[in-house]
Structure 1
Amino acid sequence: MPDNKVLVLAICGATCSGKTSTANELNKLLPNSKVFNQDDYFFDVNDSRHVWIPELNHINFDVVGSLDMDRMTNDIKEHTASQLSRIHVPEDISACDQVVCLPNKKYENLYKIKASGCHIVIVEGFCILNYKPLADLCDLKYYLTLNYEECFKRRMKRVYEPPDCPGYFEKCAWPEHLKQASEVKQTVQNVKYFNEDTVNIVDKILSDIVDII
């Protein structure tokens, strides 16, 4: 268990891979938790720091430079620091033996996490592990991948603001994902990967939290 009794999870990966759904489900299950969504940190569309794609006449929103990553990292650091004086870990959590009465492993893990008093910070986004200052804050790291066909199918069902222009997925979203995934594999250690065939992702993450606390 980290000394500060705050655990930071990174949920990173491809567009439409289930990052937000996974983060929100964990947040719902864990009352003592907070989610930071990377989408809340995009620069305004008129910001000069955006990368413009001339052939598409469109902003490339799928690069690290499209986001205020310094602000996001600082917000997470400030939130983590604010929790340190609030965390109360029971002196005796042997009551966890009571989990035998709970219906399955998920609820056993939830009980143990709650009993630990640990505050869980959940950070989700497509490139959070590609920004070293933020990746270094994370105790558990997850990367959700998809094959091209499944990713394209899911992306076509989503509506963005501003909306994707024709060719955006093929020329920006997918190539940038491949670059980012390759970079994470080469530079970030201790990342656990899930794909479209992985089942019970939330249960696996809960088990990992219990292991570390």
Structure 2
Amino acid sequence: MGPRVVIAGISGATCSGKTTLAKHLARIIPSSILLFQDDFAPPAEQIPVDPEHGWQDWDDAKGAILWDKQRDTLRRIRETAKVPDEHFSHDAFNEQYLGPVPISEEVQQEWRNKFEELLERQEGDKPTIVIAEGFLMLVDPESVRQFDVRLFMREDYAVLKQRREDRHGYHTAVLADAEGSLWKDPPEYWDKCVWPAYLRAHAPLFVSRDVEHGAFDPHAIDGVELLEANELGMEAMVVRACEAIYEAVESGKGRERWAAP
């Protein structure tokens, strides 16, 4: 029997705040592991070119992620409770696009204490908690089957567009340089590439394919906690995420309880 691992998958549109949420959780939960889906994007040289617009399409689910690499990494983390040695992250090169989004020290300390006490009560090896975030983290069934906790952050179109336009770009992998290169969106990229790809990838998961306003279809994906960012705010979402992860660890009930996928 291998180590006990609890994996929380966090998804949502680009610029919805999922990376900020994930980093808050990592600061709160002792010895947790952060996994960024952006680190499974292909090198820039391998990103498909949109035949109509002539730009590279970083957002279409088919070409945006090295799916076999992501699946293998999640499987190895499940088996070993650690990230493979060869895994490299570009996150350190990226700016925090939302800027500092603080939560109160009282909430941080309260949940840090709760997790410390919870982990101390666990018999045998303490479980390793993994926080995996990404804009396509819930669309691949094989990856989703690894998630004991499933969270999705939804934010309004206008807010997302403004945040995306305000950011200065993001670092991507290239074959010739381990540190990667900086990608900047071409004009109209949000409306003609990013947003349509987001809706297209997630429509099968929602009732009536309504990504913007609908509920998750439990026949397509079960157990997803929907976090409405425009209603909750970051601190409330941190609390909701902590509650979900805490419950999974305390109950010992994980991915096996979800009916789909």
Shared fold, TM over 0.5:
yes
> What pairs up with 1:164-183 in 2 under 5 angstroms?
164-183=185-204
Checking the alignment, whether the CA contact within 8 Å between 1:56 and 1:167 is kept in structure 2 is no
1:193 and 2:190 equivalent? Answer: no
Bigger relative CO (Cα 8 Å, ≥ 6 apart): 1
> What pairs up with 1:107-186 in 2 under 5 angstroms?
107-115=112-120, 116=122, 117-160=126-169, 161-185=182-206, 186=217
> Any idea what the Cα deviations from partners look like across 1:163-202, whole Å, max 9, x if unmatched?
1000110011111112233222242111111122223111
Checking the alignment, whether the CA contact within 8 Å between 2:8 and 2:245 is kept in structure 1 is no
SS at match of 1:32: coil
Matched residues in 1 for 2:244 and 2:114: separation? 9
Identity over aligned residues, as a percent? 23
> Any idea what the Cα deviations from partners look like across 1:105-127, whole Å, max 9, x if unmatched?
53453234432322111111011
1:30 aligned residue: 29
Matched residues in 1 for 2:38 and 2:118: separation? 28
Question: Relative to structure 1, is the Cα distance of residues 32 and 113 closer, same or farther in structure 2, using a 3 angstrom cutoff?
Answer: farther
Cα deviation for residue 32 of structure 1 reads 2.1
Checking the alignment, whether the CA contact within 8 Å between 2:30 and 2:115 is kept in structure 1 is no
Checking the alignment, whether the CA contact within 8 Å between 1:130 and 1:180 is kept in structure 2 is yes
Checking the alignment, whether the CA contact within 8 Å between 1:113 and 1:209 is kept in structure 2 is no
Question: Relative to structure 1, is the Cα distance of residues 133 and 23 closer, same or farther in structure 2, using a 3 angstrom cutoff?
Answer: same
Matched residues in 1 for 2:78 and 2:140: separation? 18
Question: Relative to structure 1, is the Cα distance of residues 203 and 46 closer, same or farther in structure 2, using a 3 angstrom cutoff?
Answer: same
> Any idea what the Cα deviations from partners look like across 1:126-185, whole Å, max 9, x if unmatched?
111111110110011011111111111111111223210001100111111122332222
> Any idea what the Cα deviations from partners look like across 1:72-128, whole Å, max 9, x if unmatched?
1211211221129xxxxxxxxxxxxxxxxx997534532344323221111110111
2:65 aligned residue: 67
2:51 aligned residue: 54
SS at match of 1:59: coil
> Any idea what the Cα deviations from partners look like across 1:48-68, whole Å, max 9, x if unmatched?
xx3321333211111222211
Gaps of 5+ in 1: 85-101
SS at match of 1:123: strand
Matched residues in 2 for 1:193 and 1:74: separation? 27
Checking the alignment, whether the CA contact within 8 Å between 1:56 and 1:165 is kept in structure 2 is no
Q: Runs of 4+ in structure 1 displaced over 6 angstroms?
A: none
Matched residues in 2 for 1:114 and 1:72: separation? 27
Matched residues in 1 for 2:64 and 2:55: separation? 12
Question: Relative to structure 1, is the Cα distance of residues 28 and 107 closer, same or farther in structure 2, using a 3 angstrom cutoff?
Answer: closer
Checking the alignment, whether the CA contact within 8 Å between 1:32 and 1:118 is kept in structure 2 is no
SS at match of 2:6: strand
Cα deviation for residue 4 of structure 1 reads 5.3
1:209 aligned residue: 245
Matched residues in 2 for 1:25 and 1:113: separation? 18
2:85 aligned residue: none
SS at match of 1:142: strand
Matched residues, number: 192
Gaps of 5+ in 2: 83-106, 170-181, 207-216, 251-261
Matched residues in 2 for 1:5 and 1:208: separation? 17
2:258 aligned residue: none
Return the letter of the residue paired with 1:130.
V
Cα deviation for residue 29 of structure 1 reads 1.4
